[in-house]
Structure 1
Amino acid sequence: MLLVTQVYVKAKECSEQLSAENFAILLARHFTSFYKQVTTAIVKIVEKPWERVHINGQPHEHGFKLGSEKHTAEVTVQKSGVLKLTSGIEGLSVLKTTKSGFEGFIRDQYTALPETRERMLATEVTALWRYSYESASSIPKNPLYFTERYLDVKKSLANTFFGPPKEGVYSASVQRTLFQMAKAVLNRFPDISSIQLKMPNIHFLPVNISSKENTIVKFNDDVFLPTDEPHGSIEASLSRFWSKM
């Protein structure tokens, strides 16, 4: 209970708004400096995204709704000031209704799945990226820097997944798209040294009822059934060659 109280006190003492990452660093530095016996502090924060409500196109003055995905932050700070900082996204659900396939995969005598260039693609993105800052004193001075970086990373992931608004972008597989998303983040943000992505399949299968008796209703891939099984849990980690991942 004493540690929880100190978290509240440190929050009250903040004279300006901080990112989740900066607040985690503040807490970790407090615990490593205040207690002689503490050599390393690990602080994990999960931020739930409250979004302002819009009524008839106008932003509500005091109305908010809870968004779906979560912003995560984890920091490890040693008494010497050595820092390890990671941020992430959990529960980012995305779906596109076309421009997705699954083709070119290895086939053997056990392969039953046909190739396709047209299917619905849905997944729930979990991303975790590590920053290259190695000391608490080396992080940017902007107290909302990591909040802005989080929003930019989320935007980069979504833009790579969906492609341009009109024409979109073709996905040959979830695996290929995952790789492209991770690569886009590393290419755009030089202070991110590595990123891990997890993107399980969320299937929406077309309902096709074949029956000699069924002459009234004809299905043409226009009714879909959501199903969790079977699915693949696709994961990958990308890092720069010098990363200590």
Structure 2
Amino acid sequence: MKNTVYAKAKECTEAISVENFAVLLARHFTTFYPQVTAAVVNIVEKPWERVTVDGQQHIHGFKLGSEKHTVEVTLKKCGSLSLTSGIEGLAVLKTTKSGFEGFIRDQYTILPETRERMLATEITASWRYHFKHISDLSSKSFCFTKRYQDVKKVLEATFFGPQNVGVYSPSVQNTLYLMAKAVLNRFQEITSIQLQMPNLHFLPVNLSSKDNPSLVKFAHDVFLPTDEPHGTIQATVTRSLSKL
């Protein structure tokens, strides 16, 4: 199979999306081998980005981005198709306009409510396309690479809000839902989307002590990343007529 992947990549006369390459491989394995009834192909694409030097793009310089483009294709010999794209490790942070309040409290709750905090997370998302049969792809030209880039832009724009004012986030849960909803509203060919957003904490530093409360006074201007237990918020949002 390893050699087949290399050979099929060599046969491509032009650059194609990882989604199309996954379909190409799945079609080969289900048509060439009579004993294969279905093929599942997973691809992870690392984002090499051209670097900018003195305001201009470098002719041969690249840097490796943080997030990854993921694809899973399941193709049966009969032509039945399932195609999911996604993104992993998209790290984002907003320094203000985030809170957490109005949550259910009990005798074990010690977390105070706040309307002002830093919000940091690492987005993992996967979205399913409506294509159900291999013929759905051959009958139309669809640019998966552009759609991936567009979905990423919608996720980021919804998270951050307008560039000059931002947008208030009452909770990670609320922002996650709005991000998923924005993707479904924008792209009709996407039937469902799953988002996972861990709440990464950056806590204000405080060096005061009982004996010397004014040792060093901080005003929320120095923060410490912490590995303490944190919540991972996850949800799947789907159109009412689609099936997961």
Per-residue CA distance 1:190-221 (angstroms, 9 max, x = gap): 00000100000110000122234254631111
User: 1:101 pairs with 90, 93, 99, which one?
Assistant: 99
Runs of 4+ in 1 over 6 A off after TM superposition: none
Cα distance in 2 for partners of 1:65, 1:58 equals 14
Offset of 1:110 from its aligned partner?
Answer: 1.9
Q: Distance in 2 between matches of 1:61 and 1:113?
A: 51
Q: TM (normalized to structure 1)?
A: 0.96
* Corresponding position of 2:190: 192
2:174 to 163, 173, 176: 176
Residue aligned with 1:237, SS: strand
Aligned-partner Cα distance in 1 for 2:215–2:131 = 65
Q: TM-score, normalised by structure 2?
A: 0.96
Equivalent residue number for residue 233 of structure 2? 234
- For the residues of structure 1 that align with 2:215 and 2:101, how far apart are their CA atoms? 34
CA deviation map 1:118-137 (0-9, x unaligned): 00000000001100100112
Amino acid at match of 2:238: S
Question: What is the identity, as a one-letter code, of the residue corresponding to 1:155?
Answer: K
**Does the alignment pair 1:150 with 2:174?**
no
1: CA distance, partners of 2:215 / 2:86:
50
Query: Residues of 2 paired with 1:190 and 1:228: CA distance?
Result: 39
For residues 11-50 of structure 1, the aligned pairs below 5 Å read 11-50=9-48
Residues 40-69 of structure 1, C-alpha deviation per residue, up to 9 Å, x if partnerless? 000000000000010011100000000000
CA distance in 2, matches of 1:149, 1:47: 15
The alignment partner of 1:169 has SS state of: coil
Equivalent residue, structure 1, for 2:128: 130
Letter in 2 for 1:222: D
RMSD: 1.2
Corresponding residue to 2:73 among 53, 72, 75: 75
| Unmatched tracts of structure 1, length 5 or more | none
SS at match of 2:31: helix
CA contact (8 A) 1:100 1:171 kept: yes
Rounded to whole Å, the distance in 1 between the matches of 2:184 and 2:222 is 38
Stretches of structure 2 that go unaligned for 5 or more consecutive residues are: none
Match of 1:110 among 108, 113, 128: 108
- How far apart, in 1, do the equivalents of 2:235 and 2:213 lie? 45
What is the aligned length? 242
Q: What is the deviation of 1:155?
A: 0.4
Distance in 1, matches of 2:70 and 2:141, equals: 19
Deviation at 1:102, TM superposition (A): 0.3
CA distance in structure 2 between the aligned counterparts of 1:33 and 1:241, rounded to whole angstroms: 35
Map of 2:55 onto structure 1: 57
Corresponding letter in the other structure for 1:224: F
Looking at structure 1, the residues matched to 102 and 111 of structure 2 have their Cα atoms a distance apart, in angstroms, of: 12
> 1:208–1:220: 8 Å Cα contact kept in structure 2?
no
**What do residues 89-121 of structure 1 show as CA deviations (whole Å, max 9, x unaligned)?**
000000000000001111122211110000000
Identity of aligned residues (%): 69
